[in-house]
Amino acid sequence: MATGGKRGRQRAILRIIKEGRVPHQEALRELLASAGFPVTQPTLSRDIRDLRLVKVTGSGGKPHYTLPEEWDHVPPLDSVLPTLFVSAEAVGNLVVVRTLSGGAQAVASGIDWEEYDGLAGTIAGDDTVLIILRSERAARSVAGELEKLAGRR
């Protein structure tokens, strides 16, 4: 097992991302494990957020993670949402956000960076973001704010 804790693991993540295209978290987790850094999915998600890695679609239409310097910045939520947003539905303390195909990662990153009140976290697939909030009221508020940012209200 490699040593170096969080910093060593994050250096390994950056090296892996620089060396090749990594399409999803599970592939990155497996590559880290083979480099001597076994990691859980929640820890890897935090590392991805801390490093500000962004998932982009390459020229062949295949998604991959990229480094912050390769992506000038993470676009603000109000700039990506009008283009990618399909719908938002509050269900209890959760919000289900539908996006265009491939848009969920960018929207989830934007939501995470907004740091809405009551936000516990986000989980993104290809075209769906699950937002976990601490109360039903917070979920309704965030769903409404997303609709407003997307120009649907």
- Sheet order of strands, 119-124 included: 85-91, 94-99, 128-133, 119-124
Q: Residue 122 class from Cβ within 10 Å (0-12 exposed, 13-18 middle, 19+ buried)?
A: buried
More confident residue, 28 or 53: 28
Tell me the domains of the chain and their CATH numbers: 5-70 (1.10.10.10), 77-149 (3.30.1360.40)
Is it the case that residue 153 has pLDDT exceeding 80?
A: no
- Interval 90-134: pLDDT, tens: 999 999 999 999 899 889 988 887 778 899 999 999 999 999 999
Tokens in use for 122?
Answer: 């986000």
What is the model's pLDDT at position 75? 65
Is it the case that residue 50 has pLDDT exceeding 90?
A: no
- The mean per-residue pLDDT over the stretch 18-23 comes to 88
Supply the angle between the helices 41-51 and 25-34 in degrees, to the nearest 10.
100
What is the model's pLDDT at position 49? 84
- Interval 53-98: pLDDT, tens: 888 776 566 788 887 665 545 567 877 889 899 999 999 999 999 9
Q: Which amino acid is at 138?
A: A
Supply the angle between the helices 41-51 and 5-19 in degrees, to the nearest 10.
70
